[in-house]
Structure 1
Amino acid sequence: MNLVPKVATAEISDADLDAVSGGQAGAAVNAGLGVHAEAGALGVHVEAGNVGITGGLGASVSPEGLSVGGTLAVTQY
């Protein structure tokens, strides 16, 4: 007895796929903003269209002194 589920598949054109998956066509721009903060750290992530920008700053104090660091990353989806 074969217990593997059967799934029907169909071919779909690239144009049809873009229409149902969101694609890159059209003038609409989706934008988002995220902020993360905790003691000694702050991070921000911004997305607009197919570009994401992430930046962060952090600082800490120890008996040896002050340590400060930062990051910046840009991603194209």
Structure 2
Amino acid sequence: MNLAPQVETAEISDAELDGVSGGQAGVHAAAAAGAAAGLHVEAGPLCLTAGAGAAVSPEGVAADVHLHASLY
């Protein structure tokens, strides 16, 4: 006997999905600019990795900075 709960599924169109999820708003532009840089250094059992990046588009600005250290 299968005691797992049963869930009914249904197919919906893309237009119906847009209505449920809020649809699409505004005009999306493909223009964007970005830059990134990184550094990796190993000295004996120590390893350091650092990096930074930034991107600008009509939707907004994104930036990232990270530092990672490992001891082998």
TM-score normalised per structure 2: 0.50
Structure 1 residue 60: Cα displacement: 0.4
Query: Unaligned stretches of 5+ in structure 1?
Result: 1-38
Structure 1 residue 44: Cα displacement: 0.2
1:73 corresponds to which of 65, 68, 71: 68
Aligned residues: 39
The structure whose Rg is larger is 2
Q: Post-superposition, which runs of at least 4 consecutive aligned residues in structure 1 deviate over 4 A? A: none
Q: Over the residues paired in the alignment, what is the CA RMSD in angstroms?
A: 1.1
Determine the C-alpha separation between the residues in 1 that align with 2:67 and 2:59. Answer: 26
- Work out whether 1:63 is the aligned partner of 2:58: yes
TM-score normalised per structure 1: 0.47
Query: Unaligned stretches of 5+ in structure 2?
Result: 1-33
Percentage identity across paired residues of the two chains: 46
Structure 1 residue 73: Cα displacement: 0.5
